[in-house]
Amino acid sequence: MKNEILKPKKVFDFKGLKCPLPVLKTKRALKEIEKGEIIEILADDPAANLDLKHFCEVSGNKLIKISKKGNKIHCLIQRK
């Protein structure tokens, strides 16, 4: 059941985009899902790691997971 909760409704690939586009597109992507649903974000902009964390803090959306492997960032965000 835990895996069902963390399953993203949609996946968005923002690799190749530079700041502030990953955050702006994440904000728009969250409008495409219902409250409580999760999106998965893929990015490779070095600033995206901190920018997505900060975006979740100020927007009230829940940052479920963020990880960085090499230059690739993987993020799960739940809409408030």
Tell me the per-residue pLDDT of 7-65, one tens digit each, with 9 for 90 and over.
Answer: 999 999 999 999 999 999 999 999 999 999 999 999 999 999 999 999 999 999 999 99
What SS3 state is found at 62? strand
pTM of the predicted model, to two decimals? 0.91
**Residue-level pLDDT at 8:** 96
Active-site residue 75, yes or no?
A: no
Residue with tokens 């999760």: 38
Question: Using CA atoms, how far apart are residues 1 and 25, in angstroms rounded to an integer?
Answer: 29
CB burial readout 44-77, b (16+ within 10 A) else e: bbeebbebbeebbeebebebbebeeeeeebebbb
Q: Pick the catalytic residue: 17, 19, 24, 42?
A: 19
Question: Using CA atoms, how far apart are residues 51 and 47, in angstroms rounded to an integer?
Answer: 6
| CATH number for the domain whose boundaries are 2-78 | 3.30.110.40
Confidence band for 2, pLDDT divided at 50, 70 and 90: low
